[in-house]
Structure 1
Amino acid sequence: MIKLIASDLDGTILLKDAQSVDNSLFETIHKISEKGIIFAPASGRQYNSLKMLFEPIAKDLMYIAENGSLVMYNEEVLFKSPMDRKLAMEIIEDVYEHCNCEVLVSGLNTAYIKPKAKEYLHRMTSMVKYTTSMVDSFDDIQEDILKVSVCDISGIKNSTEYFTKKWSGKVLTAVSGKLYLDFTANGVNKGTAIKKIQEKLGISPDECMAFGDNYNDIEMLDNVGHSYAMDRAVDDIKKHAKHITESVEMTLKENFL
């Protein structure tokens, strides 16, 4: 019996750059939750952003946020895995000085930004609708840093090679969508979050299902017994899934309703 379902958002639940979840999916997830199954959005997005996206059923869900750096359940921190502060600050400086790149620094309840371009500010506050805090200096951040992200508005493919070559080994890097590259502490990803949840709640991998479409979903797909890659995902991702689907909602209905 499935006890936990985790799903990526962008490119998995949210298709064609959508920024809102269909009401029909809310209804489907609610019915599944009534069966005692935990549904967990698993994303590089912040916790507050995920709660807003799933507002009609927000209290029913577990949240795997910040690429696995933070897991929230019943409005409490189940666990968090912050970055080494000195290393995070070095990465922040590198990203901020890099041409065409913006930096996003994730805390527990807010994301810290120092926009270089109005387009980036508009994207974070009006499109993605993040909870943000403007800083004059990233040194002003007083809390744990869960994740550092590069945002390249021209496409993250233009910056990935530089940053991964420079920082791989010191931190974990993962492409997240078309515009972002995320840095988390070594060993921290959606998959390790799934493993910690399994251990904490006494759930086996075979009692877990997951959906994903991008490289930051690989470890999550590898750590569940029922793994689904989206049909539009690249072949590298599909290799890690036991099933291919065109729709999360359709698959949920076929399996649980």
Structure 2
Amino acid sequence: MTETSVIFFDIDGTLLNHEKELPQKTKEAVFQLKEAGHVVAIATGRAPFMFEDLRKELDIQTYVSYNGQYVVLNGQVVYANPLNISSLLQLTERALANNHPVVFMDHEDMKANVPEHSYINESITTLKIDRFPSHDPYYYEERDLYQTLLFCPEGEEKQYEQEFKDFDFIRWHPVSVDILPKGGSKAIGIQKIVEQLGFPPERQYAFGDGLNDIEMLTNVKNSIAMGNAEDSVKEAARFVTKSVEENGIYHGLQMVGLL
């Protein structure tokens, strides 16, 4: 019997195409992996509630979410790395003065600190999810937050980067930036899972396409960049497959001998 492996998949631009659809060939590939006894996991920048339907469709209970800040193995939380609330509240006050709204996010929901704003509408709608942040400026109270969204035009996040050293700022939209705990990454989240599963490096695989995948692709021994990835992402990976629109997952799994 072939030794089993663990395979981590990014979501947007990797499992899902640019229309946020799951290609049939990709779905078939995931179930073939599972039938062969492999562990299939997700590693994403998304919140858990933003890919619940996808987890159900693929029957996946192991995932790294929020770029490594909230990690679940077989349905159980094994690692959580919340934001520093004191620093976050200082940042939020500065952002309000600059007319830059924020959205607080935990593992269950997201709430905006303003009733409405065009930047929130413009960016959140591109995710094509069935949830939109409602208004609750005190959502940070008595709960852990794993990510906050800061809404500002490109370049204007620099002032926050210079002052708030507890956080990493990752732009994902022309008017929106992820705020994450400093130094957190998908690679750290993956490490928390493989430590418990016991897979050696040669039996660890990861697929990704975005800038937030670079550390994951650098640290996982058998890393595969999607053909639609930027050059810097491809350079970080050991292999490069076809694009998501060309059944890149299926082709990549064949290329590395998992299918």
1:184, distance to aligned residue in structure 2 (A):
1.7
Percent identity, aligned pairs only, is: 24
Cα–Cα, structure 1 residues 140 and 236, in superposed 2: closer, same or farther, change >3 Å? closer
1:172 matched to 2:168? The reply is yes
3-state SS, counterpart of residue 239 of structure 1: helix
1:32, distance to aligned residue in structure 2 (A):
0.6
For residues 177-215 of structure 1, what are the alpha-carbon distances to aligned partners after superposition, in whole Å with 9 as ceiling and x for unaligned?
Answer: 665422222232101111111212222222211122222
Assess if the C-alpha contact under 8 Å between 1:104 and 1:148 holds in 2.
yes
- Map 1:204-243 to 2 at 5 A: 204-243=200-239
1:250 matched to 2:251? The reply is yes
Cα–Cα, structure 1 residues 53 and 178, in superposed 2: closer, same or farther, change >3 Å? farther
Between the aligned partners of 1:159 and 1:248, the Cα distance in structure 2 is 36
3-state SS, counterpart of residue 60 of structure 1: coil
Cα–Cα, structure 1 residues 238 and 130, in superposed 2: closer, same or farther, change >3 Å? same
Cα–Cα, structure 1 residues 146 and 139, in superposed 2: closer, same or farther, change >3 Å? same
Between the aligned partners of 1:69 and 1:251, the Cα distance in structure 2 is 27
Aligned-residue CA RMSD (Å): 2.7
From the CA coordinates, give the structure whose radius of gyration is larger.
Answer: 2
Residue 25 of structure 2 aligns with which residue? 24
Residue 14 of structure 1 aligns with which residue? 16
Q: How many residue pairs are counted as aligned between the two chains?
A: 250
Residue 203 of structure 1 aligns with an amino acid whose one-letter code is F
Cα–Cα, structure 1 residues 162 and 229, in superposed 2: closer, same or farther, change >3 Å? farther
Q: Which runs of 4+ in 1 moved over 6 A?
A: none
Cα–Cα, structure 1 residues 180 and 10, in superposed 2: closer, same or farther, change >3 Å? farther
3-state SS, counterpart of residue 64 of structure 1: strand
Residue 49 of structure 1 aligns with which residue? 50
Cα–Cα, structure 1 residues 228 and 178, in superposed 2: closer, same or farther, change >3 Å? farther
Between the aligned partners of 1:182 and 1:161, the Cα distance in structure 2 is 13
**TM norm structure 1:** 0.83
Residue 106 of structure 1 aligns with which residue? 105
Residue 77 of structure 1 aligns with which residue? 77
Residue 245 of structure 2 aligns with which residue? none
For residues 126-165 of structure 1, what are the alpha-carbon distances to aligned partners after superposition, in whole Å with 9 as ceiling and x for unaligned?
Answer: 953264552342365431011112245xxx6444544433
**TM norm structure 2:** 0.82
Between the aligned partners of 2:219 and 2:130, the Cα distance in structure 1 is 29
Between the aligned partners of 1:140 and 1:177, the Cα distance in structure 2 is 23
Between the aligned partners of 1:102 and 1:20, the Cα distance in structure 2 is 29
Unmatched segments (≥5 aa) in structure 1: none
Assess if the C-alpha contact under 8 Å between 1:20 and 1:53 holds in 2.
no
